[in-house]
């Protein structure tokens, strides 16, 4: 089905069109949700909420830019909102203000990823604290700048930089840990 | 100003690995979304699967079918069957002399306003209407009792009402005299005329007919009688051919007003006319107007008189206007297969009780009823086994920097898993079938009829039985079982097309054989689990029918 037909079908509330749209993009968006979530269950919730928002916001879609990009923004924003609401619920502080100047990059060598499956890398990202994960995702995958991240997450630019740095350090340690503890079972 | 982004190798590596990551979405999410959208989401066909949709669609089908049958019946039925007019065949057979105004005859009105004008084009005389006839009668016999009766029979005889004002057949003839029918009646034994409870003796002489005409009709009408009658006949013919059904309101009045009626005594008089008492030919004291068809307890003269020998064959309304429909009932069984491109066929069978109504002239009809259909659908199960003689697994044990108990084991070194797909397990779906088929006979060879049958049916799921599959692989370890079966719809709308071959065993009994194709209008399977190709069905419908 052509994209405009799909969109108009979804706007009209036709179940078949909605189903097709879901089938087309669910996998891609689920991958995004998995990166922002701490576990699969949370990713599923994000995906569900994201698609509901897409279907309910379709009327406001102005066909400026790509449709997929528009949907992706909704999914990402929804994921961020989901994490924020989760923070409030847990009453925890995820963003740590750290003096960036004193922060040092780890000097360990980054191992090659060729042999590490995607599932493991995903687990690494999911294992990051929420604040680190958000900034890392936005910076690395969504290509946001620290300024944009600061505005989006209501934090300072320095905090964004700190979070990113820490995220990198943690990920690097995990990867080194893998390469050291990898066991080949006969 | 765009910030210069510092991309480190670790960023790049994660991005390369995870950016295009598109894992299969979890199966339950769409269901949840669908439920959440349920209130607003609409599908053009979805309402058909709901109970309300089924009821609405069924009601619409029944109403449309009913209206079709109703309209066909009433448009095909002669008006005489509705009791409004006499048929042209009657008129042709019996002529104007035998116009029957009895049980199936003309409904007359006493209202002068409703009486039509019948211009007499031949003579140039004014239009003949009941009122003009009354006026003529007045001029003929001013001041007489008969005129009063003619003007307003009910007024002149208050006791005359719908029941006791008997409606009698009149045989109007030319000025020469009455017909044989009239003569027969007049010569009937113990014939007499009842007037206000008084039996008036009947003159049996044949020439009494002319005296009746002479006495009943005014002079100027008598002179123009042939023309008047001819005009009236023309009007009758027109009314019949127009089939408006309003014949009795108009032209009938004109004729009926010419008809002398016998007045039965009022109940309080206690005098009931004997059967066979007829209008006196010699006594002019007859009452005009307010003609009324005889009732079961008060039949008209036509009911008690013998049919005239020369008035053509006796007309049986049932024979002259046969029911245009034939009715039939049948028990039909079917067996067939649901075919889906790329999948093994699934069997179905059904038992149906159908009733049919068909139009004899059109050779077309409808069939409906109720049926029981069972589908034996193949399940699709995926068994995953691991051979026990495996060479082992390759994996990583990972200790999280923060949680040392975090352990992963994944990816076997060599794939020693074996997947088997089982399609031998059958699911049993039972449906209640409500069809509405349209049939059309195309041609006939002796006892063999060939026709076509098509129409929709609605199958509603009653039961679903799923048998758990059993499969074991020797020397292996069971890992998982996936059910990839296509689940069938709870309501399936279908359309059947079939040539119809009927063998008439006897006048009433016939055997029917129908090789059919079934199209599943809303697919046979749930959207979520439906196969990629569209299913369709082929089968044989056969059974015995009884025609009433």
Look at residues A51, A68, A90 and tell me which one is the last residue of a structural domain: A90
Whether residue B85 has pLDDT greater than 60: no
Whether residue B498 has pLDDT greater than 90: yes
State the pLDDT at residue A112.
56
Candidate ranges B276-290, B314-328, B332-346; pick with highest mean pLDDT? B332-346
Question: What confidence category does residue B438 fall into, taking pLDDT thresholds of 50, 70 and 90?
Answer: very high
Contact (CB<8Å) A183/B397: yes
Do A75 and A110 share a domain, yes or no? no
Do A123 and A49 share a domain, yes or no? no
Tokens standing for residue A56: 């309910």
Look at residues A34, A66, A90 and tell me which one is the last residue of a structural domain: A90
Closest approach of A170 to chain B, Cα-based (Å):
8
Contacts of B228 (CB under 8 A, 6+ apart): B118, B120, B128, B221
Between B100 and B387, whose confidence is greater?
B387
Name the residue among B372, B536, B529, B378 with its Cα closest to residue B462.
B372
The model carries a pTM of: 0.35
Residue A33 lies in a domain: yes
**Any A CB within 8 A of B407 CB:** no
Beta strands in B3-63 (DSSP E): none
Beta-bridge mates of residue B369: B354
Do A86 and A104 share a domain, yes or no? no
Between B99 and B364, whose confidence is greater?
B364
Do A85 and A8 share a domain, yes or no? yes
Q: How far apart are CA A165 and CA A103, in angstroms?
A: 8
Domain CATH number, residue A19: 1.10.1740.10
Closest approach of A184 to chain B, Cα-based (Å):
5
Contact (CB<8Å) A168/B8: yes
Question: What confidence category does residue B524 fall into, taking pLDDT thresholds of 50, 70 and 90?
Answer: confident
Do A113 and A168 share a domain, yes or no? yes
Q: Is residue B358 a contact partner of residue B326, using CB atoms and an 8 Å limit?
A: yes
Name the residue among B338, B370, B330, B334 with its Cα closest to residue B349.
B334
**Any A CB within 8 A of B22 CB:** yes
Whether residue B164 has pLDDT greater than 70: no
Contact (CB<8Å) A183/B395: yes
| Cβ-based contacts of A127 with chain B (< 8 Å) | 400, 402
State the pLDDT at residue B35.
83
Q: How far apart are CA A29 and CA A39, in angstroms?
A: 15
Residue range B135-154: mean pLDDT, rounded: 45
Report how many Cβ contacts below 8 Å link chain A to chain B. Answer: 149
Residue range B226-253: mean pLDDT, rounded: 58
Name the residue among B109, B108, B90 with its Cα closest to residue B100.
B90
Closest residue to A34, CB basis, from B3, B15, B23: B23
Between B497 and B222, whose confidence is greater?
B497
Q: How far apart are CA B512 and CA A74, in angstroms?
A: 62
Do A24 and A49 share a domain, yes or no? yes
Residue A81 lies in a domain: yes
Do A15 and A86 share a domain, yes or no? yes
Looking at this predicted complex, what is its ipTM? 0.81
- pLDDT over 70 for what percent of chain B? 41
Q: What is the CB neighbour count within 10 angstroms for residue B99?
A: 26
Q: Is residue A168 a contact partner of residue A140, using CB atoms and an 8 Å limit?
A: no
Whether residue B203 has pLDDT greater than 60: no
Beta strands in B423-524 (DSSP E): 426-445, 448-466, 476-483, 491-504, 509-520
Listed range (A28-37, A143-152, B472-481) with the worst mean pLDDT: B472-481
Question: What confidence category does residue A59 fall into, taking pLDDT thresholds of 50, 70 and 90?
Answer: confident
Do A13 and A85 share a domain, yes or no? yes
Residue range B431-455: mean pLDDT, rounded: 90
* pLDDT single digits (tens) B108-128: 444 344 444 444 444 444 444
Buried residues in B48-83 as b, exposed as e (16+ CB within 10 A) = bbeeebbeebeeebeeeeeeeeeebeeebebbbbee
Between A162 and B49, whose confidence is greater?
A162
Residue A140 lies in a domain: yes
Q: What are phi and psi of B179, to 5 degrees?
A: -80, 180
Question: What confidence category does residue A8 fall into, taking pLDDT thresholds of 50, 70 and 90?
Answer: confident
Whether residue A98 has pLDDT greater than 90: no
Domains of chain B: 82-317 (no CATH), 324-547 (2.40.160.20)
Closest approach of B47 to chain A, Cα-based (Å):
12
Whether residue B37 has pLDDT greater than 60: yes
Q: Is residue B309 a contact partner of residue B303, using CB atoms and an 8 Å limit?
A: no
Contacts of B30 (CB under 8 A, 6+ apart): A19, A22, A26, B528
Q: What is the CB neighbour count within 10 angstroms for residue B429?
A: 25
Do A130 and A154 share a domain, yes or no? yes
Residue A110 lies in a domain: yes
**Any A CB within 8 A of B35 CB:** no
Residue A95 lies in a domain: no
Whether residue B295 has pLDDT greater than 50: no
Q: Is residue B308 a contact partner of residue B180, using CB atoms and an 8 Å limit?
A: yes
Domain CATH number, residue A122: 1.10.10.10
Question: What confidence category does residue A38 fall into, taking pLDDT thresholds of 50, 70 and 90?
Answer: confident
Residue range A17-24: mean pLDDT, rounded: 88
Q: Given the structure tokens 């069971």, which residue do they identify?
A: B478
Whether residue B190 has pLDDT greater than 60: no
State the pLDDT at residue B50.
56
Residues, chain B, total? 548
Contact (CB<8Å) B399/A181: yes
Whether residue B541 has pLDDT greater than 90: yes
State the pLDDT at residue B416.
56
Whether residue B362 has pLDDT greater than 70: yes
Residue range B412-424: mean pLDDT, rounded: 56
Residue range B8-27: mean pLDDT, rounded: 84
State the pLDDT at residue A33.
92
Do A79 and A145 share a domain, yes or no? no
Q: Which residue is closest to B5 within chain A, CA to CA?
A: A145
Residue A186 lies in a domain: no
Look at residues A51, A66, A90 and tell me which one is the last residue of a structural domain: A90
State the pLDDT at residue A61.
80
Residue A79 lies in a domain: yes
| Cβ-based contacts of B41 with chain A (< 8 Å) | 13-15, 18
Q: Which residue is closest to B408 within chain A, CA to CA?
A: A120
Contacts of B481 (CB under 8 A, 6+ apart): B381, B382, B383, B384, B469
Q: How far apart are CA A11 and CA A56, in angstroms?
A: 8
Whether residue B66 has pLDDT greater than 50: yes
Tokens standing for residue A97: 């203000």
Q: How far apart are CA B189 and CA B522, in angstroms?
A: 77
Q: Is residue B117 a contact partner of residue B129, using CB atoms and an 8 Å limit?
A: yes
Q: How far apart are CA B6 and CA A105, in angstroms?
A: 13
Q: Is residue B473 a contact partner of residue B384, using CB atoms and an 8 Å limit?
A: no
Among B1, B11, B25, the residue to mutate for chain A (most A Cβ within 10 A): B25
Question: What confidence category does residue B220 fall into, taking pLDDT thresholds of 50, 70 and 90?
Answer: low
Q: Is residue B479 a contact partner of residue B390, using CB atoms and an 8 Å limit?
A: no
Among A17, A51, A59, the residue to mutate for chain B (most B Cβ within 10 A): A51
Q: How far apart are CA B208 and CA B189, in angstroms?
A: 15
Longest dimension (CA), chain B: 136
CA contacts within 13 A on the Cβ side of A25: 25
Whether residue B48 has pLDDT greater than 80: no
Residues 345-404 of B with CB under 8 A from A: 392-402
Residue A14 lies in a domain: yes
Closest approach of B1 to chain A, Cα-based (Å):
11
Domain that holds residue A36: 3-90
Closest approach of B447 to chain A, Cα-based (Å):
50
**Any A CB within 8 A of B29 CB:** yes
Closest residue to A27, CB basis, from B18, B23, B394: B23
Beta strands in B340-425 (DSSP E): 346-359, 364-378, 381-387, 395-396, 417-422
Q: What are phi and psi of A13, to 5 degrees?
A: 85, 20
Question: Could you tell me whether strands B509-520 and B491-504 are parallel, antiparallel, or unpaired per DSSP bridges?
Answer: antiparallel
Contact (CB<8Å) A15/B393: no
State the pLDDT at residue B468.
65
Do A162 and A133 share a domain, yes or no? yes
Name the residue among A113, A141, A128, A109 with its Cα closest to residue A167.
A128
Instruction: Give the total number of structural domains in chain A.
Output: 2
Residue range B479-501: mean pLDDT, rounded: 84
| Cβ-based contacts of B10 with chain A (< 8 Å) | 110, 168, 171-172, 175
Among B2, B4, B10, B31, the residue to mutate for chain A (most A Cβ within 10 A): B10
Q: Is residue A105 a contact partner of residue A168, using CB atoms and an 8 Å limit?
A: yes
Contact (CB<8Å) A177/B398: yes
State the pLDDT at residue A87.
62
Average pLDDT of chain B is 63
Tokens standing for residue B63: 């109403």
Between A59 and B98, whose confidence is greater?
A59
Beta-bridge mates of residue B515: B540
* pLDDT single digits (tens) B167-178: 343 343 344 444
Do A47 and A112 share a domain, yes or no? no
């Amino acid at each position: 089905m052509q994209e405009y037909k799909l969109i108009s079908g979804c706007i009209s509330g036709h179940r078949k069109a909605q189903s097709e749209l879901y089938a087309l993009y669910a996998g891609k968006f689920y991958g995004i949700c998995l990166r922002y979530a701490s576990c699969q269950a949370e990713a599923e919730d994000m995906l569900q909420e994201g698609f509901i928002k897409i279907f309910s916001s379709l009327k406001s879609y102005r066909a400026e830019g790509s449709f997929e990009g528009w949907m992706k923004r909704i999914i990402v924003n929804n994921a961020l909102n989901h994490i924020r609401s989760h923070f409030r619920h847990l009453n925890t502080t995820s963003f740590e203000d750290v003096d960036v100047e004193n922060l040092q990059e780890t000097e360990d060598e980054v191992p090659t990823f060729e042999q590490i499956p995607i599932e493991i890398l995903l687990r690494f990202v999911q294992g990051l604290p929420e604040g680190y994960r958000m900034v890392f995702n936005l910076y690395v995958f969504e290509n946001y700048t620290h300024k944009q991240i600061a505005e989006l997450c209501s934090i300072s630019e320095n905090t964004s930089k700190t979070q990113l740095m820490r995220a990198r350090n943690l990920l690097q340690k995990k990867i080194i840990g893998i390469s050291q503890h990898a066991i080949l079972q006969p | 100003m765009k910030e210069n982004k510092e991309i480190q190798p670790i960023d790049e590596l994660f991005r390369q690995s995870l950016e295009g990551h598109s894992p299969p979405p979890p199966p339950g999410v769409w269901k949840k979304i669908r439920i959440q959208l349920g209130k607003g989401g609409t599908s053009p066909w979805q309402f058909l699967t709901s109970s309300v949709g089924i009821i609405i669609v069924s009601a619409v089908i029944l109403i449309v079918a009913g209206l079709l049958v109703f309209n066909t019946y009433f448009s095909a039925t002669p008006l005489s069957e509705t009791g409004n007019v006499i048929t042209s065949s009657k008129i042709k057979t019996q002529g104007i002399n035998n116009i029957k105004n009895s049980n199936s005859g003309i409904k007359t009105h006493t209202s002068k306003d409703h009486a039509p004008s019948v211009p007499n084009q031949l003579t140039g005389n004014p239009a003949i209407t009941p009122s003009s006839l009354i006026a003529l009668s007045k001029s003929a016999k001013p001041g007489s009792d008969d005129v009063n009766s003619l003007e307003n029979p009910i007024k002149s005889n208050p006791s005359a009402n719908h029941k006791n004002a008997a409606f009698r057949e009149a045989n109007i003839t030319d000025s020469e005299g009455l017909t044989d029918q009239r003569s027969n009646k007049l010569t009937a034994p113990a014939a007499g005329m009842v007037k206000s409870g008084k039996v008036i003796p009947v003159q049996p002489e044949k020439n009494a007919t002319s005296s009746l005409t002479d006495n009943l009709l005014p002079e100027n009408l008598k002179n123009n009688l042939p023309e008047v009658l001819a005009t009236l006949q023309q009007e009758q013919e027109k009314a019949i051919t127009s089939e408006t059904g309003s014949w009795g309101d108009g032209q009938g009045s004109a004729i009926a007003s010419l008809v002398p009626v016998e007045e039965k005594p009022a109940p309080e008089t206690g005098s009931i006319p004997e059967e066979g008492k007829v209008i006196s030919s010699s006594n002019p004291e007859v009452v005009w107007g307010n003609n009324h068809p005889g009732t079961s307890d008060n039949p008209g003269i036509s009911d008690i008189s013998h049919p005239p020998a020369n008035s053509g064959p006796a007309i049986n309304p049932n024979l002259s206007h046969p029911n245009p429909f034939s009715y039939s009932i049948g028990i039909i069984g079917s067996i067939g297969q649901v075919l889906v491109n790329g999948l093994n066929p699934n069997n179905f069978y059904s038992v149906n009780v159908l009733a049919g109504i068909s139009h004899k002239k059109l050779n077309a009809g409808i069939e409906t009823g109720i049926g029981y259909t069972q589908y034996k659908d193949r399940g699709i199960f995926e068994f995953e086994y691991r051979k026990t003689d495996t060479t082992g697994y390759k994996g990583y044990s990972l200790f999280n920097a923060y949680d040392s108990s975090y352990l992963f084991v994944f990816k076997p070194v060599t794939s020693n898993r074996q997947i088997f797909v089982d399609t031998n397990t059958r699911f049993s779906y039972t449906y209640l079938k409500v069809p509405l088929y349209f049939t059309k006979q195309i041609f006939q060879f002796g006892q063999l009829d060939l026709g076509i049958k098509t129409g929709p049916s609605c199958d509603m799921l009653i039961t679903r039985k799923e048998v758990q599959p059993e499969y074991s692989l020797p020397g292996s370890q069971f890992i998982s079982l996936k059910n990839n079966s296509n689940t069938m719809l709870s309501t399936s709308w279908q359309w059947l097309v079939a040539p119809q071959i009927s063998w008439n065993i006897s006048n009433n009994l016939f055997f029917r054989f129908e090789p059919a194709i079934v199209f599943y209008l809303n697919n046979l399977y749930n959207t979520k689990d439906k196969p990629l190709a569209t299913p369709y069905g082929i089968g044989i419908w056969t059974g015995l029918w009884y025609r009433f």
